[in-house]
Amino acid sequence: MQILKYSKSFLLIFLFVSSFSLAASGHPVRAENGMVVTPSDIASVVGSEILKENGNAVDAAVAIGFTIAVTYPAAGNLGGGGFMVIHLADGESTTIDFREKAPMAAYRNMFLNDSGRFVQSKSLTGGLASGVPGTVAGLLYALQKYGSLPLAKVIQPAIDLAKDGFILSYQMAKSFNSYQKIFAKYPSSKKIFHSPEHPFVEGELFVQPDLAKTLEAIKTKGKAGFYEGKIAQMIVAEVNKNGGKFSFQDLKNYKAVERKPVLGNYRGYEIVSMGPPSAGGIALIESLNALEHFNFSPEDWGSSHHIHIVSEVLKHVFADRAKYVGDEDFVNVPKVWLLSKERGEEIFKSIGKRAVPSKLISPGKVKILKESSETTHFSVADAEGNAVSTTVTLNSLYGNKIVVDGAGFLLNNEMDDFSAKPSVPNQFGLTGSEANSIQPGKRMVSSMTPTIVLKDDKPFLVVGSPGGSTIISTVLQTIMNVIDFKMNIQEAITVPRFHHQWLPERIDYEKYGMTKDVKENLIRLGHHIGIKRVLGRVQAIEIDWQNHVFYGASDPRSNGMAEGL
């Protein structure tokens, strides 16, 4: 695998050429033998090389997962968690849940003060904010059951990149520098990400020897190399030194769980997505079940009618999410009802010409959520018909900003994704219910929506996005843009998006996403116009099996790359 021996000169040339070619093209990348789309140029090359070395889409996805832990530390990780949706060439679909879990010492009111008030700083910073990480267990489970290459082969690129270093982009250097004050608070983080005398610069070689040793331990000992022994000791020590409550048993007992995907059908396309503890798949399919009753033409895109209808649907969907979705190992989620065409029709019938105030919308038959914005996503499809859609996260950018001393990776702050106190919003404005309350060993609810859309039983779209609660509306609009508005995949992810999540009651939108008259029309319909902000960063693939062409598209809002074979 010659290209994986990254020299400094190669990386400089590679990054320059990639950036130039992407900026110069408004079309998706085309290929005949497979496609990889990730938020990291280097990871995209790693994934495509794994496919070239006769690996399948799962092998490539696992290699990418370990690589972005090195090359995209803001969200790629060993210390976080995520979800993987897989469709195999034999027609089987499955999902792997490697979401973080509350440690066994966690308890329902752990983030409330003596007066019963939610103290959000406790759920976002320090060791108490960290859930037990699942990424390593999830990637290893996927490789062992569905991969075709040995772990030593797929993890080696990440080891090399950590040990020998990679060239910092302008954006990454800028990101490191913007968090200097926070990284300086923690000695372990300061050693790696803090450089006040000489700020990080574009073109600098970034080396992570401690992270390389951790990856070597995983390569040698597998799951035990991370969840037991020396690395586990380092994790427990770092978390608890910073006020957390981890035990060795929390780590040793962690297991990734294979779950059946949630399934839906939209205008003849099959939707394969992630079920609880992710709320994303249910919300996506519930939305599509309601939207299927409306007819949209390409000329409707961006109109007040289009935005009104989708926003009204999302109000109901997010209200249902708030009340019903939790970790199914702890709560009964009424999936059959939420995913039913009947529930979609109920929502459709409730939508009129004017906006219904959010306070009048109850979740289905009852009343009243929670989450992470700085996640990351990657999509892979191979020539045989295997496809993988994976979203991983640390929650906030760089998680809780604490590096595990000696192990070289950042910890998550996913405990904020629980409903620390029902009806009180988290950092992303989402409120929650008892279904997502904190319990020992429980997985927190997420909006991550890794999804595969099938056409004639074959992968048609492989899609997902970061963005916390906006993931759901981002993935929904991407799918609608292709199916309803007849856009190619690059157009579908490039055009401006909007977002409504029931509470707060407003439509947020992107730059150039709403003309003045559209805003005025929406206000007349009773809507509240929210803030202008970036909504999601999609990495997606569209496949034309008749002509055997793969189209890859990386969101221009991010710095990713599509790499075809």
Q: Is 293 helix (H, G, I), strand (E, B) or coil?
A: coil
d(CA 22, CA 28): 9
Residue count of the chain: 565
d(CA 276, CA 261): 9
Q: Is residue 223 part of a domain?
A: yes
Count of CA atoms in the C-beta half-sphere (13 A) of 312: 26
Q: Final residue of a domain: which of 359, 392, 413?
A: 413
The alpha carbon of residue 163 and the mean position of all alpha carbons in its chain are separated, in whole angstroms, by 27
Q: Are residues 365 and 401 in the same domain?
A: no
Q: What is the pLDDT of residue 179?
A: 96
Q: Are residues 84 and 198 in the same domain?
A: yes
Output the CA angle 60-494-384, nearest 5 degrees: 30
Q: Which two tokens stand for residue 520?
A: 């005025």
Is residue 530 within 8 Å of 513, Cβ to Cβ? no
Q: Are residues 328 and 368 in the same domain?
A: yes
Is residue 149 within 8 Å of 50, Cβ to Cβ? yes
Q: Are residues 320 and 338 in the same domain?
A: yes
Q: Pick from 392, 199, 364: which is nearest to 278 by CA?
A: 392
Q: Are residues 195 and 336 in the same domain?
A: no
Q: Are residues 169 and 304 in the same domain?
A: no
pTM: 0.94
Q: What is the pLDDT of residue 517?
A: 98
Q: Is residue 49 part of a domain?
A: yes
Q: Is 39 helix (H, G, I), strand (E, B) or coil?
A: coil
37-67 burial, b for 16+ CB within 10 Å, e for fewer? Answer: bbbbbbbbbbbbbbbeeebbbbbbbbbbbbb
d(CA 465, CA 449): 7
Q: Which two tokens stand for residue 541?
A: 């693939």
Q: Pick from 70, 93, 430: which is nearest to 273 by CA?
A: 93
Q: Is residue 562 part of a domain?
A: no
d(CA 11, CA 42): 8
375 is catalytic: yes
Q: What is the CATH number of the domain that holds 532?
A: 1.10.246.130
Q: Are residues 182 and 283 in the same domain?
A: no
Q: Which two tokens stand for residue 290?
A: 């309601």
Q: What is the pLDDT of residue 195?
A: 87
Q: Is residue 472 part of a domain?
A: yes
Count how many domains the chain has: 2
Q: Is residue 433 part of a domain?
A: no
Query: Rg (Cα) of the chain, in Å, rounded?
Result: 22
Per-residue model confidence as pLDDT tens for the chain (565 residues): 433 444 343 343 344 333 333 333 479 999 999 999 999 999 999 999 999 999 999 999 999 999 999 999 999 999 999 999 999 999 999 999 999 999 999 999 999 999 999 999 999 999 999 999 999 999 999 999 999 999 999 999 999 999 999 999 999 999 999 999 999 999 999 999 998 888 999 999 999 999 999 999 999 999 999 999 999 999 999 999 999 999 999 999 999 999 999 999 999 999 999 999 999 999 999 999 999 999 999 999 999 999 999 999 999 999 999 999 999 999 999 999 999 999 999 999 999 999 999 999 976 544 344 465 679 999 999 999 999 999 999 999 999 999 999 999 999 999 999 988 765 555 555 555 788 999 999 999 999 999 999 999 999 999 999 999 999 999 999 999 999 999 999 999 999 999 999 999 999 999 999 999 999 999 999 999 999 999 999 999 999 999 999 999 999 999 899 999 9
d(CA 387, CA 132): 28
d(CA 495, CA 64): 27
Q: Are residues 219 and 321 in the same domain?
A: no
Strands 166-167 and 498-499: unpaired
Q: Is residue 149 part of a domain?
A: yes
Residues contacting 165, CB < 8 A, separation 6+? 8, 205, 206, 207, 208
Q: Are residues 343 and 480 in the same domain?
A: yes
Q: Are residues 86 and 134 in the same domain?
A: yes
Q: Is 133 helix (H, G, I), strand (E, B) or coil?
A: coil
Q: Is residue 430 part of a domain?
A: no
Q: Which two tokens stand for residue 131?
A: 């859930």
Q: Are residues 41 and 133 in the same domain?
A: yes
Q: Final residue of a domain: which of 413, 437, 464?
A: 413
Q: Final residue of a domain: which of 393, 413, 433?
A: 413
Q: What is the pLDDT of residue 93?
A: 98
- Amino acid letter at 392? V
Phi/psi of residue 264, nearest 5 degrees: -145, 175
- Amino acid letter at 12? L
Q: Are residues 406 and 497 in the same domain?
A: no
Q: What is the pLDDT of residue 446?
A: 96
- Rounded to whole angstroms, what are the CA distances from 556 to 19, 24, 328, 482, 490? 11, 12, 36, 17, 9
Q: Is residue 563 part of a domain?
A: no
Domain residue limits at 239: 2-113+129-256+376-413
Q: Which of 67, 71, 95, 375 is catalytic?
A: 375
Q: What is the pLDDT of residue 425?
A: 58
Q: Pick from 177, 548, 188, 117: which is nearest to 400 by CA?
A: 188
